[in-house]
Amino acid sequence: MKQLDPYFESKNEKFSMGWTDMREVLGRILNPGCNTLLICRSGRATLLLNGKRHLFRRNDILNIYADGYMSPVFIRTSEDFSTFCCMMSGEFAKEVSYNVSSPFWDLLTAYPLLRPDRKQAEGIELWLKQMEWLECNIAKDRLYPFVRDYI
């Protein structure tokens, strides 16, 4: 399971993705210094976001901006908690957002924690399986265009 890398930006990588249990950041403000997308895979976590407690559970999506705006604090996680994590450099995030309509980013700014309905959750499950397959089967140096187009 890949752990969050607090020095991700200094490595000049465009993105880093994997799975994490978030235990190494419990009780600390999560501000990785880059745009970060988290999607809960299993279990649940309690977090503070914008001064309010929230439950982060399976298929929930949390978007964290590089500027630290509304950075969450994970308070506790269940034993089986796991989340997909994609950390994106500013340059890579701009490339990704170029392909996505502006109203979507406005939505993520207004609601950084999204709870998909059942039908959307099914699509997220399939998307996560594709991302996992890409990470396991495509060489890192060839992974870039796939991740850019799938995020």
pLDDT digits (tens, 9 = 90+) for 29-44: 876 667 888 999 999 9
pLDDT of res. 137 = 84
Does the pLDDT value for residue 108 go beyond 80?
Answer: no
> How many CB atoms lie under 10 A from the CB of residue 96?
20
Q: What is the dihedral of CA 9, 12, 18, 24, to 10 degrees?
A: -30
What pLDDT was estimated at residue 1?
Answer: 45
Is 52's pLDDT higher than 80? yes
Amino acid at 102: S
Which residues sit opposite 138 in a β-bridge? none
Higher per-residue pLDDT: 45 or 147: 45
Instruction: Name 87's bridge partners.
Output: 16, 36
Q: Does residue 71 surpass a pLDDT of 60?
A: yes
Non-local (6+) Cβ contacts of 126 within 8 A are none
Percent of the chain's residues with pLDDT above 70: 83
**Contact criterion met (CB below 8 Å) for 3 and 24:** yes
